[in-house]
Amino acid sequence: MKPYAKYIWLDGRILKWEDAKIHVLTHALHYGTSIFEGIRGYWNGDNLLVFRLEEHIDRMYRSAKILGINIPYTREEVRQAVLETIKANNFREDVYIRPVAFVASQTVTLDIRNLEVSLAVIVFPFGKYLSPNGIKATIVSWRRVHNTMLPVMAKIGGIYVNSVLALVEARSRGFDEALLMDVNGYVVEGSGENIFIVRGGRLFTPPVHESILEGITRDTVIKLSGDVGLRVEEKPITREEVYTADEVFLVGTAAEITPVVEVDGRTIGTGKPGPITTKIAELYSNVVRGKVEKYLNWITPVY
């Protein structure tokens, strides 16, 4: 396999890509006992800007607390590990940043309270995850896990099997992305994104309860909506409301702001990215590249 990058940070050391290895009996490999973040860095021509790094690190520590593991590094050490990894690879392009803490002990016990935890930071070049011109989605048969089953507020590796199954179903049926309903039949998320819909000039998104991740891009869009003259209303969203929406878009670190132009064969709006989606996407692009002074506190320059 061609390496995505030259170097990876693992347990306090910068290693060559091919030297960053773990044992096959690593607990996280068998039981999904890892927590992670997905972060983007944007090259603006002069510097590489990491978007909302502090918030991502904070969420990572919340995930660790929920899972019941201790990250063996301080927040500042994780922050520096991210910057150090980018610098070691000398990136001058948009990148994806994946810090991951995982139960590293070589054991099959299910009691993780006193097991060893490792931390890695992987960074690699990354462009568009989904088409900014609009995607086709389907509501899949798999339901999004409920917080009485698994802690959906946390980005725990094992929980993402739910997303894997959903996306594979959608792709195998010829769609670009999956939409998942919760146990109550409300549409709550994409396979790796939060969802927003526009109906009658109003912007809606599911509330943070029961089945959705507290997305940082979701939070960003809620804050930016006021700048384009909109207020986001949090409410349960039905399948019918998605089908009859004027606009639908998905948001996430990888997806950024992705218009959905068709759901289950039903055209959304005009079948093209709508005006509100486009306006928010343009503002988001300017914010992440450090062009909006109001939001420079969200930007961490690397060089």
**57: Cα separation from own chain's centroid:** 13
Concatenating the DSSP letter of every residue in 167-218 gives HHHHHHTT-SEEEEE-TTS-EEEESSSEEEEEETTEEEE--SSSS----HHH
The answer to whether 194 and 204 have CB atoms below 8 angstroms apart is: no
- Taking CA atoms, 132 is separated from 45, 190, 216, 285, in Å, by 21, 16, 19, 12
155 catalytic per annotation? yes
Closest CA to 263 of 184, 195, 212: 195
Instruction: Return d(Cα 95, Cα 52) in angstroms, integer.
Output: 14
- Taking CA atoms, 17 is separated from 4, 13, 27, 88, 160, in Å, by 8, 12, 22, 12, 24
Instruction: Return d(Cα 297, Cα 184) in angstroms, integer.
Output: 38
Instruction: Return d(Cα 194, Cα 253) in angstroms, integer.
Output: 10
79's enclosing H/E stretch is helix 75-89
- Taking CA atoms, 82 is separated from 44, 49, 95, in Å, by 18, 12, 12
Residue for token digits 């997806």? Answer: 255
Identified catalytic residue from 155, 279, 291, 294: 155
Give the count of alpha carbons within 13 A of 50, CB side only: 27
User: Catalytic site residues?
Assistant: 155
